[in-house]
A and B are shown apart, each in its own frame.
Chain A
């Protein structure tokens, strides 16, 4: 379970990116994180992964507080696909990048390569295995970044705009893939169709605050709410 209680996050210079956010996500739930540009979606995801300093409130993941001393434990349960794939991919080849996390989990090289191969196959990027990540198209980078995370089979998946660079078919395939995954999923997106097709629940952020958390179908049919939060 992911429990967020009165969470506030401030960046330097008093720039408050999250104010007093509370929500609870049960195991296995898929939650769409909706909000306009600058609403605080990426900040919330980074905070769950322990990448941001919490100003007040707390976050618990499977009963473990997100704080410095627990980060190793927490990060072994979490997979985080960054909004910017260039930040995520740093190895010489795509395959090496996918293998990186698996090796860190203590899986031996041969097995890691096998798992990496299967994952790349699922994401339709087997042909890119030996290419340099910095020389891929944006959509290809995105799929490579997603492969890096899915290969590790984390219990909780955090996606920051997973479909932002993908073409229609890749988006559809990814949605199907996401639906087929069992773990808890939190997906920050602007794409209401993705939210509709993958997520059972939705959380709407506006101006650093959580304005609504509930059934995705209910929230996505509330046009006034979506309009007020610049989502329509």
Chain B
């Protein structure tokens, strides 16, 4: 019982941790969100453009390696999140490993089973793409991401929804913590929540979170919250240096993508 309460509390703590880190890292949070969003987008696009048997995707690990030394994100937060996604990826990749019996030629005349190569590239791509998204979140406060999305003319409703969902997620976790606490205090002999009580608890949790979310929204409205205006506070104009940095990054991505291609052609 205590474990699940602790679990909820630690989820809340790590959500906050993520936001606090993103707000505090000076080097990258001073970089405009639109630039970072666009850079992540280009990066992901390049990574997914590699074929299933194309080991050139490994070249793109240069970026995370370089960034790691500059930003040094809290490794625990980063890997914890990566670990959430990895099982799904491994699960998808494993079917390739079993069913794909084709023979693939590797550079320098080596040969191996296609399944093994595709399993490996899927893993690489997943780590790179999820890593890029995580990196964006780790170095950009949520409000700034919202402003960045607005900069790309995404509809206000959509952006607001994203931001509020994150806020309400915390409200829901908080409600879950309170309810669990109340439940366990009145059922000290149980080691968890009775299965027969789950449906009641979940329904109640939903209603309570909804009520609280509504109250919070009222509080925001009472303090002059206006979706468009608030989202647009965080809209930034890119400086010349930022655009130059972005162009360099895009150029490096394209260069590596092309290098992968040439490398593959030459080796085959």
Enumerate chain A interface residues (CB-CB to B < 8 A): 46, 49, 51, 71-72, 75-76, 78-80, 82, 84, 86-88, 90, 92, 100-101, 103-105, 132, 134, 148-149, 152
CB-based nearest A residue for B215: A87
A75/B224 in contact, CB under 8 A: yes
B167/A90 in contact, CB under 8 A: yes
B219/A92 in contact, CB under 8 A: no
Q: List residues of chain B with CB within 8 A of the CB of A82.
A: 215, 219
Q: Return the 6 tightest CB-CB contacts between A and B, nearest first.
A: A104-B224, A101-B223, A87-B215, A88-B219, A80-B222, A90-B216
CB-defined interface of B212-230 with A at 8 Å, one 1/0 digit per residue? 1001101111111110011
Whole-angstrom distance from the CB of A176 to the nearest CB of chain B? 25
Interface majority SS (helix, strand, loop, mixed), chain B: helix
B167, B171, B216, B221: which contacts A75 (Cβ < 8 A)? B221
A104-B225, A134-B174 are known contacts; what are 8 more A-B pairs with Cβ within 8 Å?
Answer: A49-B222, A51-B222, A71-B221, A72-B224, A75-B222, A80-B219, A90-B167, A100-B220
CA distance in complex: A134, B177 (Å): 12
- The verdict on A92 contacting B23 (CB below 8 Å), with A80-B222, A152-B223 known, is yes
- The verdict on A105 contacting B224 (CB below 8 Å), with A82-B215, A84-B215, A92-B19 known, is yes
Whole-angstrom distance from the CB of A54 to the nearest CB of chain B? 16
User: Which of the four size classes fits the interface of chain B?
Assistant: 20 to 34
A104/B229 in contact, CB under 8 A: yes
B224/A101 in contact, CB under 8 A: yes
CA distance in complex: A72, B230 (Å): 14
A87/B212 in contact, CB under 8 A: yes
A72, A78, A90, A134: which contacts B219 (Cβ < 8 A)? A90
A92/B20 in contact, CB under 8 A: yes
A86, A100, A132: which contacts B223 (Cβ < 8 A)? A100
Say whether B233 faces chain A, with CB atoms less than 8 Å apart: yes
* Chain B stretch 180-219: residues in CB contact (< 8 A) with chain A: 212, 215-216, 218-219
- The verdict on A72 contacting B220 (CB below 8 Å), with A87-B215, A92-B23, A134-B174 known, is no
CA distance in complex: A87, B210 (Å): 12
Q: List residues of chain A with CB within 8 A of the CB of B264.
A: none
A87/B222 in contact, CB under 8 A: no
B222/A90 in contact, CB under 8 A: no
Q: List residues of chain B with CB within 8 A of the CB of A148.
A: 223
CA distance in complex: A71, B218 (Å): 12
A76/B23 in contact, CB under 8 A: no
Q: Which of B171, B215, B219, B230 has the most CB of A within 10 A?
A: B219
A90/B220 in contact, CB under 8 A: yes
A78/B222 in contact, CB under 8 A: yes
CB-based nearest A residue for B20: A92
* Chain B stretch 103-161: residues in CB contact (< 8 A) with chain A: none
CB-based nearest B residue for A135: B16
Q: List residues of chain A with CB within 8 A of the CB of B218.
A: 46, 49, 51, 87
